[in-house]
Amino acid sequence: MLGQRWPGRDTAALGNAVRALVPLVQVPPRGVWGSGGLAVHTTAESWLGSPLDAAPSIDPIVLRYLGAFGPATVNDIQQRCGLTRLRGAIERLRPGLVTFRDERGRELFDVPEGPRPGPDTPAPVRFLPEYDNVMLSHVDRSRVICDEDGRVLWRLLTQAGGIHFATITVDGFLGGAWRVARTGDAAVLAVWLFRRPSKKEVAAIEQEGAELLTLVAPDAGTRKIEFSDP
């Protein structure tokens, strides 16, 4: 359709321009368990059934970010939403926020009702999906990724041609990566651990992994977990 409207132009470039410059909504379902398809978009106005605000406030986005990922710095918020110069929004919202200081003296902001578990709160093993916000939503990711493990993950990505791996957290930190492979009616959960785990951690990974396999491969005749070095 774009090519018909602008003949002689590169249709792929026209499509990319629309995706980059026009407010769009990706229409669900993008994919379901075990299958997927091409992304289908519509305009935000069509999806919402009303025109967009010509000058929307950024404040609700800041509050929603803090509700999910606070306490956080201004730079953390900017990292997640891709917008800059958010200090003004924070200053407007400051009277309704709570503040802290991290180990480096940086000011952190949070919503008053945000969950802030104590240091002794257990952090169970969790299998996170690809591009999960836990790993991507802060400028300083040392709260969930130590430098050495980050380098191991980067090496895996490089070896896989840039394909992002789903990750595993152990005691709240990046501990490995995972993938599920299907062959016939068999499902194999491949786990790469970045350091030698304790027996208790292995048991927790196996238990959580078994539940993951039941979720993503309910029709598999056999399910198993394989551990490998990264």
Query: What pLDDT score was predicted for residue 230?
Result: 62
At 11-28, the pLDDT tens digits run 999 999 998 999 999 998
Using the predicted structure, report yes or no on whether residue 147 has a pLDDT greater than 60: yes
Using the predicted structure, report yes or no on whether residue 159 has a pLDDT greater than 70: no
The residue extents of the domains of the chain are 2-48, 59-110, 126-228
49 vs 93: CA distance, rounded Å = 30
Q: For residues 74 and 81, is the Cβ–Cβ distance under 8 A?
A: no
Token pair for 103: 């180990």
Query: What pLDDT score was predicted for residue 34?
Result: 66
137 vs 134: CA distance, rounded Å = 6
At 27-36, the pLDDT tens digits run 988 777 667 7
137-161 as b/e: b if 16+ CB within 10 A: bbeebeebbeeebbebbeebeeeee
Using the predicted structure, report yes or no on whether residue 39 has a pLDDT greater than 90: no
Closest CA to 67 of 113, 117, 118: 113
Mean pLDDT throughout 177-205?
91
Query: What pLDDT score was predicted for residue 21?
Result: 93
From 161-165, 185-189, 204-208, 215-219, the region with the lowest mean pLDDT: 161-165
Q: For residues 206 and 193, is the Cβ–Cβ distance under 8 A?
A: no
Q: For residues 208 and 125, is the Cβ–Cβ distance under 8 A?
A: yes
